[in-house]
Amino acid sequence: MRVDIDAVSVDVAGARLVHDITLRADSGRVVGLVGPNGSGKSTLLRCAYRALRPAAGTVRLDGTDLHTMGVREGARHLAALPQESATEFGFTAAEVVAMGRLPHQRGSGRPSAADLRVCEEALDRTGAAHLAGRAFLSLSGGEKQRVLIARALAQEPRVLVLDEPTNHLDIAQQLELLALVRDSGLTVLTALHDLNLAAVHCDELYVISGGRIVASGAPHDVLGPELLAEVFGVRAHRVPHPETGVVQLLFDRLPARTDAPTTS
Amino acid sequence: MAAPARTAAPASAPVGPDGDRPRTGSPLPTVPLVAGLALVLLASLVCGVGLGASGVGWGEVLHHLGAGLSGGTITSDEVSAYTIVWELRFPRTLLAAVVGAGLSAIGVAVQALVRNALADPFVLGISSGAAVGANAVLLFGSLGALGVWALSTAAFGSALLAMVLVYAAARSAHGLTPLRLVLTGSAMYYGFSALSTLMVFAADRGEAARSAMMWLLGSLSGAGWGSLPVAAVAVAGALLYLMLSAGRLNALAMGDESAAALGVDPGRLRRELFAVTAAVTGAVVAVSGAIGFVGLMVPHVTRILVGAGHRRVLAVAPLLGAVLMVWVDILSRVLLAPVELPVGVITAVLGVPAFVLLMRRRGYTFGGGG
């Protein structure tokens, strides 16, 4: 399923955080959003999974405006892994995954046999089947993310939106999670902090700064030293990965400028 | 500080860093539990009718209950026993069950609504708002034209008024956020309580102040058949609504963003829950006063027993709350008979130790860390 974000602007508490952003994720592609903290990545993604409503512009799934669909219908096409997963409630991992069936259910949400099968498959695919009976709150960061991905897969969506999915994960867990996402075959829109991970795992990158897209294209073309200096305020050296040849980055501080503005 | 561990477990290991923490006790099977509780409730209702200050034999109790339920006849010397059983104790015991079920159900709703473990119906300030209206009737004889209905009408009306105030004050551009609701509700709670206290002092009528006090601590002593229908309908309606919303409540409990991603509009659900909570609080407080602790404790005990899934919680909590209230009411009548204790005193005396004990015995994780 193709995702078009078309001229989207977003206001939060009276401030415009996203200015007129247009981007496109073709069916089955993994599209990354990179940018410094506060650049508007999460805000833009929130519009995609409908936690926010854009002030202008549209988010379209295969041409249909997402915000004209019912929330439930939207959630049948598009699943998300929001950054916040703060809950105080002692759900088991299996219960968390079962919530993924909610957009497909009516009434009290009693899961049918088919629902349970979908949930089981989702847990299997994310390698989290052994966690099913555990309390979600007692899981490690990596385990939690796997369970939440399983919840997203249980929605049987065609688009997956991820907001910094590798936060709080150790490096092996990060690689594992991104491989999992890639192998899902879904259209993926993800914000990523780590530019090297983004270079390896994304088909396309959009660089956001100050709520605007400042560059886009294949990671190899986008991640140039000038752009990285300008947007992230770092000096970057490009080196090919010794095995795969994918571009990877090594960072230094930029030589100090007098009264250099700190990028917020 | 300990040296950093050298042997980190591989990421794919089945047990994470926190894996050695004892997991939450496995939930009890729900269906037998619900069936068992329903039977216990039936038995408790009979006990509620049978036990009391004036001794009526068990045979008589069953006989009069049967007579009342089937519309049978009684002889003239049985009238006083029949009145005690059918006109006083039975509606009162039924009302205790309804109130217990209602407080427990809206306790579950409020905790999901504000996503806070410490929430109960009182935290929204609605019950103390109801108390203001009730005090006006008890102390100053307001709404005298309504006769016996004055108290419940005033309580319900001022509960709704309090709800509108809290809602208007807590509302922001982002809708109803949990923190603002809790803060506004708590602030209003103190405001309304101060108003009630002020009225008690201003009234300067010893007996009236005592009954206002009684009402503030919760009491079912005014119960009769008349107070039952409105409360029962409100509680039944709320239970049905909450049951049908169980899946959405789960999603809301995971956070607003997750809820949105799961196809639930958190703002709309929160508004619905707020309205349902206010209506039930008003209806329940109007007939029983401000009974504390049940709405906080029963949902937690239920989660300890059956886990956090709202479908199971909502099946068990109302039954548990009903049984609890029936027994609390019995105790309030017999402990210091013929003096009647405020119900709220007993819920606290019973509830606090039971709650602490349960919480310490099992790895309860509502608070985020067991």
ipTM for the complex shown: 0.87
Query: B205: distance to nearest CA of chain A, Å?
Result: 46
Distance (Å) from the C-alpha of residue A215 to the closest C-alpha of chain B?
28
Gyration radius (Cα) of chain B, Å: 23
Q: Identify the burial level of A160 via C-beta atoms within 10 angstroms of its C-beta, where 0-12 means exposed, 13-18 middle and 19 or more buried.
A: buried
Nearest by Cα to B284 from B95, B66, B28: B95
Q: What are phi and psi of B236, to 5 degrees?
A: -65, -45
Task: List all residues of chain A from 6 to 35 with a beta carbon under 8 Å from chain B.
Answer: 13
How far is A134 from chain B, CA to nearest CA, in Å?
6
- First and final CA of chain B: distance in angstroms? 24
Q: Note the pLDDT of residue B122.
A: 75
The total number of residues written for chain A in this structure? 264
Model confidence over B247-297: pLDDT tens digits? 999 999 988 889 999 999 988 998 898 888 888 888 888 888 878 788 888
Tens digit of each residue's pLDDT (9 = 90 or more) over A31-73 = 999 999 889 999 999 999 988 889 999 999 999 998 898 889 9
Quick count: other Cβ atoms within 10 Å of Cβ B107?
27
Tokens coding B338: 């013929």
Closest CB from B16, B23, B308 relative to A89:
B308
> Per residue in A95-122, pLDDT tens?
999 999 999 987 666 788 899 999 999 9
Q: Is A86 on the interface with B (CB under 8 A)?
A: yes
Q: Which residue of B has its CA nearest to A76?
A: B263
The nearest CA of chain B is from the CA of A207 a distance in Å of 24
CB contact under 8 A, B14 and A50: no
Question: Strands A78-81 and A159-163: what pairing?
Answer: parallel
Q: How many residues does chain B have?
A: 370
Q: Is A105 on the interface with B (CB under 8 A)?
A: yes
Nearest by CB: B262 against A103, A110, A138: A103
Q: What is the pLDDT of residues B167-209, one digit of tens each?
A: 888 877 666 677 888 888 888 888 988 888 888 888 766 677 7
Q: One digit per residue, pLDDT tens: chain B, 370 residues?
A: 344 444 433 333 333 333 333 334 455 678 888 999 999 998 888 888 878 767 677 777 777 777 777 777 777 777 777 777 777 888 889 999 999 999 999 999 988 888 876 677 777 788 888 888 888 887 777 666 666 677 777 887 888 888 888 888 887 766 667 788 888 888 888 898 888 888 888 876 667 777 777 777 777 877 778 778 888 999 999 999 999 999 999 999 988 889 999 999 988 998 898 888 888 888 888 888 878 788 888 998 898 888 889 999 999 999 999 999 999 999 888 888 777 888 888 888 887 787 777 667 655 555 444 3
pLDDT in tens, A149-201: 999 999 999 999 999 998 878 898 899 889 989 888 899 999 998 999 999 99
* Cβ separation B262–A96 shorter than 8 A: no
Of B243, B244, B365, the CB nearest to A90: B365
pLDDT score at B18: 35
> Rounded to two decimals, what is the model's pTM?
0.84
Contact A137 B369 (CB under 8 A): yes
pLDDT at A206: 95
Q: Rounded to a whole number, what is the distance in Å from the CA of B168 to chain A's nearest CA?
A: 18
pLDDT at B317: 94
Q: Who among A82, A85, A91 is closest to B309 (CB)?
A: A91
The number of C-beta contacts closer than 8 angstroms across A and B is 150
The answer to whether the CB atoms of A84 and B307 lie below 8 A apart is no
Residue B110 has a pLDDT of: 87
- Residue in chain B nearest A174 by alpha carbon: B11
Radius of gyration of chain A (CA): 19
Cβ atoms of residues A189 and A47 within 8 Å: no
Contact B153, B146 (CB under 8 A): yes
CB contact under 8 Å between B262 and A100, yes or no, is yes
C-alpha distance from A165 to closest chain B C-alpha (Å): 14
Task: Flag whether pLDDT at A143 surpasses 80.
Answer: yes
Q: Do B16 and A46 touch (CB under 8 A)?
A: no
**Closest CA of chain A from B110, distance in Å:** 13
- Tokens read off for B215: 């009402």
Residue in A90, A108, A139 closest to B244 by CB: A108
Q: Is A73 on the interface with B (CB under 8 A)?
A: yes
Quick one: closest CA in B to A49, which residue?
B261
Mean pLDDT of A198-208: 94
Please indicate if any CB of chain B lies within 8 Å of the CB of A88: yes
| Tokens found for residue B17 | 């860093």
- Are A30 and A188 spatial neighbours (Cβ–Cβ below 8 Å)? yes
**Closest to B368 (Cβ–Cβ): which among A49, A137, A142?**
A137
pLDDT value at position B186? 86
Distance, CA of A34 to CA of A17 (rounded, Å): 15
Q: What is the pLDDT of residues A229-251, one digit of tens each?
A: 999 999 999 999 999 889 999 99
Verify cis geometry, omega within 30 degrees of 0, for the bond prior to A219. Answer: no
Give chain B positions within 8 Å (CB) of A99.
247, 250-251, 254, 258, 262
Q: Decide: helix, strand or coil at residue B75.
A: coil
B224-227 — which CB contacts under 8 Å span 24+ positions?
A: B224/B87, B224/B88, B224/B91, B224/B92, B225/B87, B225/B91, B226/B148, B227/B91, B227/B95, B227/B152, B227/B287
Helix (H, G, I), strand (E, B) or coil at B37: helix
